[in-house]
Amino acid sequence: MDYLKTQSVTSLNGTINISGAKNASLPLIAMTILSQREVKISNLPDVVDIRTLLKLLTNLGAEVHFEDKFVVVNTKVLHETKATYDIVKTMRASILVLGPILARFGHCEVSLPGGCAIGQRPIDLHLKALEQMGAKIEIRAGYIEATAPDGLKGCNIIFDKITVTGTANIIMAAALAKGSTTITNAAREPEVVQLCEVLQESGVSIEGIGTAILTIEGTDGQLIDIKDFSIIPDRIEAGTYLCAGAITKSEITLTNVEPKHLGAVLSKLEEMGNSFTITDETITIHPAEKIKPVKIVTQEYPAFPTDMQAQFLALATQADGVSIIEEKLFENRFMHVSELQRMGADITLNGHTATVNGKTDLSGTDVMATDLRASSALVLAALVAEGETNIHRIYHLDRGYDSLEKKLEGVGAKIERLKE
């Protein structure tokens, strides 16, 4: 098993190229199930979750050719409709194949999903919406068994709460359904927007892209002529490296980035005293001389993303004053707090709220990653912790960050990947 050995640095300097967004790639790879032709996807990050989903498609019969930063997927030859436990257990996003397989074949079996233990992320909203579209759903022996022998039918769907994967699943199902489907309280994340845009550019009529109300005209079972496309930049990766610049008080430039996707993150970093030079595809952070405390509440896009909460919590340990961070989306997303406390952080938890008393001098030690974003928070803390920090169980990190240690090493970090 790999771990990261990290030593403190006085400062970082240089340029980091941002990879394609993992959270955009996953639904777009699943979307290829709807295609009548092979599809080339460019700017694909090389992370474990991507490889897992491509392996799942291969097991379903698809032909997959994955090279550096792109993949060619041919699902015309797809012949299996069962997504088995051995793959789905490792990644919750595997549930994204449910909608497109059911819409295309009229039946499917998908194992109940696994993934990061950051809290309950029930799929009942996905299943309820598919039932509204005419599917019959049964849970049997750990599998979702779904059938729609007469095809899915468009209808009006109102999500009780915003669900990103649920929205993506129903968009894909609706694309092949008969008639019109309207989704109310749809997720507005850039990753959902790109899914809609690719389908729209491939001939599917979708209204309301980027809003909470989407209307999709289905093709009545006809597969779609999906065009080749490139994945949008990863806003969470970008935010993580901006926090690296902020916590080490270093000037770092990000390239291949989409600034408009980072509004809430940039706003909070500015509150903490940082400033930025921004172009269409680059962001340079000019760090604060003295980091100010901040108050953060995680909410759905376009508000502050839950996927940046852990990184900002690490950053807040170096702020002069008391920061308050409230997690509203996942109940178990403060598991990194105990590891930061081992490094000397002064953090108090009260339910879904963390109070961070800064500035504290962190000390290097052995810590353990508990989930994907917690892993990156520990890396950030290690950059400023006195001495040496060993971060274990970084397989979590590899699920969502493409070459993190190499990118940080490229701007001056003292970090290396070693074997236990």
Answer whether 343's CB lies under 8 Å from 126's CB: no
Q: How far apart are CA 337 and CA 333, in angstroms?
A: 9
For β-strands 206-207 and 295-297, DSSP reports them as unpaired
Q: How far apart are CA 341 and CA 374, in angstroms?
A: 13
Q: How far apart are CA 292 and CA 386, in angstroms?
A: 21
Q: How far apart are CA 281 and CA 289, in angstroms?
A: 26
Answer whether 347's CB lies under 8 Å from 354's CB: yes
Which token pair is 278? 């921004």
- Distance in Å from the first CA to the final CA of the chain: 6
Residues in contact with 351: Cβ distance below 8 Å, sequence separation at least 6, in sequence order = none
CA angle 159, 334, 168 (to 5 degrees): 25
Angle between helix axes 98-105 and 164-175 (nearest 10 degrees) is: 20
Alpha helices in 32-133 (DSSP H): 48-59, 85-88, 98-105, 124-132
> Could you say which of 108, 116, 196, 243 is catalytic?
116
Answer whether 314's CB lies under 8 Å from 378's CB: yes
Q: How far apart are CA 55 and CA 65, in angstroms?
A: 11
Neighbours of 31 (CB within 10 A): 28
Answer whether 313's CB lies under 8 Å from 246's CB: no
Angle between helix axes 22-31 and 98-105 (nearest 10 degrees) is: 10
Residues in contact with 146: Cβ distance below 8 Å, sequence separation at least 6, in sequence order = 98, 102, 107, 108, 109, 110, 127, 130, 135, 136, 137, 138
Query: Would residue 155 show up in a list of annotated catalytic residues for this protein?
Result: no
Which are the catalytic amino acids? 116
